[in-house]
Each structure stands twice: as structure tokens, then as C-alpha cells.
Structure 1
Amino acid sequence: MSKILFVMTGADHWTLRDGTKHPTGFWAEEAVVPYRAFTAAGHEITVATPGGVVPAVDRASLAPEVNGGPEQAAEVAAALEAMPELKRPVRLEDVEVTDHDAVFYPGGHGPMEDLADSADSGRLLVRALDTGTPLAVVCHGPAALLAATREDGTNAFAGYRLTCFTNAEETQAGLAGQAPWLLQDRLVEAGADFAEGEPWAPHVVTDRTLVTGQNPASSAPLADELLRRLA
């Protein structure tokens, strides 16, 4: 049995370009699908958030239209209720990477609000790289990589081949024009070797100990890849 750390957003909104607070949080599928895969394989999950706040689900991620219909949406909502770790997260500030065998960051727009400039998350990510801890990050979760800077000011993931929710997907989702910044652009500016797949299709990129997934559909193959690394 391995111990997997879920680092999740503590934000329940995303501040748009005009100052409007867009309700958000974590994306349900991106937490539920990997959680099921990891626990089915016998692994132990710990959830950490900034300040230890209970993470908020993006209500839009529970809608039938993004879950394949009402029955599937109800199943996802029930699965969240069956994840006790979500109700008792630990403080991100107190977490030590070496107490875990792998680290996973789900997405949703929440990480754009808090994890993108969280020094605690940034230090954890640098430590994960330096200790060779497998790291899996999906969709908007890679916003957290922006805070992973070394003492010389460079981003620890510069030169890594990776992906995230793309500019094309943000545009098609209708929020690109309101966004204060776009994640793909910021990762490229930080020095990432960006690998873009087809919008909304599963797309997983691996580079050394880092595994990234582009969008919600990438959650399952990303979880499978992390499980292979833990086997």
C-alpha cells in the first residue's frame, strides 16, 4: 500500500479580469475518478488544502451535461459524499512530501485562484521533484506549478514536457475572454515544453517523475499512469 497526497484548492471562486468572483472550486470528475482508482488498488489518500479548509466542489462539475446525463451526475455526487478525506483535510502548510509515495493535484478553476501563487504548494512541488516523488497533475491543477520556483528565481518545471487545460479549451468553455490570464500561456512563459492535444480528448504527457493530464477526460489515464509508477 502506498500513501498518495491529494493537494487540492481551498478556493471557492476565481477572480475574473473585471473583478467578478466566478464560483468554482475543484472539478468533481478529476477528484472522483483518480480517488476510485487509487483506493481500489489499496492505496491510502490524504487530502491537503491551504489552511486545511474543506475543499469546495465546482457545482458546474456536477451538472448532468458534463457527466453524461442525470444518472452519471448523481453517481459522481454520491462518490464525493463517500470520500471521507474531503471532509477532514490537513493543512498544506504542515505536509512533508517524504511522508507520501506520490502526489496528485486535481483541477477546476480553484487552483488558478490560490495554488498558482501558494509558496507552501510551490515548496512541496520542488521537494517532490528533488526527492523523485511521482507527481500527477491534471487540467487546471498545473496552475500550482507556477509557484514552484527555486532560489535563483527559475521555475522548477522549466524544460519539462507537460500539458494542461489549453487556451483552445478555455475559449470553447467561454471563459478565456474573462480570464485574468491563461494557464497555457503562463506555463510556456515559465519555460515549460508545452504539449497540446485535441480539445476535450484524453491527453497525458509524461516527463521524468511528472505526469500531466490536459482535461477532465484525462483523469482516468493519468491515474492509470501513476498507478503503474507505484506498482
Structure 2
Amino acid sequence: MKKILLVVTNTSKYPNLERATGLWLGEAVHFAAEIEKAGYEIDYVSPKGGYTPLDPHSLQPDQMTELDWEYYTNTNFLNKLSNTLPADSINPNDYAAIYYAGGHGVMWDFAEDENLQNIASAIYANGGVVSAVCHGVVALLNIKNDDGELLIKDTKVTGFTNTEEIAVGLDKVVPFLAEDELVRKGANYVKGDDWSVFTVTDNRIVTGQNPASGGAVAEDVIKLLKSL
């Protein structure tokens, strides 16, 4: 059974704000829990490799579920987040799917990373699944298919909404709005109610709208892999 690649950020601080950022913990945890339950092994990768910072806001009591605490107190899991593989070391042929976790940090290191783009392109070309949640969907913006077309062009996707970004007060801080940029790149952007669990599957591309949707993305990825 091929492995699943879980991609996380290396960005620890907003470049234009005195505030910490990083991986939104739950977006990795809830995806990983479902994937591991289905019997898949996960490798953790980031653009540069090494440590992935955790967004401190994702560790607030009102954000942490029992499952989040279970992973957050698991030394093995934390060691994986501290020692992620660098993107340039990955052999895409080893993986059945790739998943981009979010957190605002990814807004500065996912979209333009050619190594991450090439990994996803190869996994998709091999018949695998490309998936992302929340801000992690910005990793899909510049991925191309075998024909040189943008992978998300004319494809139904979701991701963090403009209204959700405004609600957290960071719409003027991020370099662009995920929803607007997906539309600009030719995707067929759809969304559910703000903060509700919402996912979309189209052409072996699975996307989730917000932090609540990571587990649901995993379920959809597993269904897809079983049908291939």
C-alpha cells in the first residue's frame, strides 16, 4: 500500500505582523487520524524540511478537541512535525495521495513552491489523489497537469472563504484571499456556511473549506483511493 504525504508549513511568523503563525494543528490531526485508521502510513513534508511551527491560536482550549490533545501529547507525532522531510527529497511514486494542511503560514510558502507543485503533478499523473484543506488549498493554485494546464481550471474546489478571513480579522494581512485567487485561476469555487464542515471532490481533487473539514477531507480521500 502506497503512503500518504501530509504537507505542512515552515512559516512561523506573519511577515507583516507581530504575531506567530504556522500549522493549524487540527487540520493535520483530524486528517491523520482518519488516514491512519484506514491503514495508511503518513510521511510529513514541508517546503524546506525540519521543524513546522504550530499556530498558537490553534492550541487555544476552544479549538482543541480530545483527539487534538491525544496527538499533541504524543511524542512520536510531535517528533514527526519537528523533523519533516524537505520537499526536494520526495519521490512522488511512493505516494497514493498528497494533502496540504493549512494555517495562515502556508500563505507565504505553499503557492510558489515548485517542488510541492511537481510532487502533486506527478502523484496526480500516476492516478493518485490531490487534496487540501482551508488555507492549504493555495498549494493548488499553480499545479499543472500533463497538458500544461492548471490542475484546478474548470474544477470544483472549496477553501477558506473571504467572509471567514474577514471574521478572523486577517483579510488585510494575508498576501491574497484564497477564495478570490482560486476563482482567478479558473477554478469553479463553491462553499458551504462559514465554519461548517464542507468538502468537494472533483476529478481526484478533494478540498475542504476550513479547519473543521480536515477529517471529512480524509474520509473523501479514502473513498476515492478505494475506488481507483
Task: Output the amino acid matched with 2:99.
Answer: F
1:60 aligns with 2:57: yes
Unaligned runs of 5+ in 1: none
Unaligned runs of 5+ in 2: none
| Residues matched between the structures, number | 225
Residues 167-195 of structure 1: CA deviation (Å, up to 9, x unaligned): 01001111113333111111111111101
Are the structure 2 counterparts of residues 88 and 177 from structure 1 closer, same or farther at C-alpha, using a change threshold of 3 Å? Answer: closer
TM-score of the two chains, using structure 2 as the length reference? 0.90
Residues 96-130 of structure 1: CA deviation (Å, up to 9, x unaligned): 21111111111111111101111111222222332
TM-score of the two chains, using structure 1 as the length reference? 0.89
1:50 aligns with 2:47: yes
Q: Distance in 1 between matches of 2:103 and 2:82?
A: 18
Are the structure 2 counterparts of residues 104 and 151 from structure 1 closer, same or farther at C-alpha, using a change threshold of 3 Å? Answer: closer
CA contact (8 A) 2:21 2:56 kept: yes
Residues 137-184 of structure 1: CA deviation (Å, up to 9, x unaligned): 111111111232469975232111100010010011111133331111
Residues 15-36 of structure 1: CA deviation (Å, up to 9, x unaligned): 3xxx335421111101111111
Report the equivalent of 2:85.
90
Task: Output the amino acid matched with 2:29.
Answer: V
Give the structure with the higher percent helix. 1
Map 1:11-160 onto structure 2 (within 5 A).
11-15=11-15, 19-20=16-17, 22-67=19-64, 74-75=69-70, 77-79=72-74, 81-83=75-77, 84-149=79-144, 154-160=149-155
Task: Output the amino acid matched with 2:212.
Answer: A
1:217 aligns with 2:212: yes
Say what the alpha-carbon RMSD is for the aligned residues: 2.1
CA contact (8 A) 1:49 1:92 kept: yes
> How big is the shift at 1:73?
6.2
Are the structure 2 counterparts of residues 178 and 86 from structure 1 closer, same or farther at C-alpha, using a change threshold of 3 Å? Answer: closer
Task: Output the amino acid matched with 2:215.
Answer: A
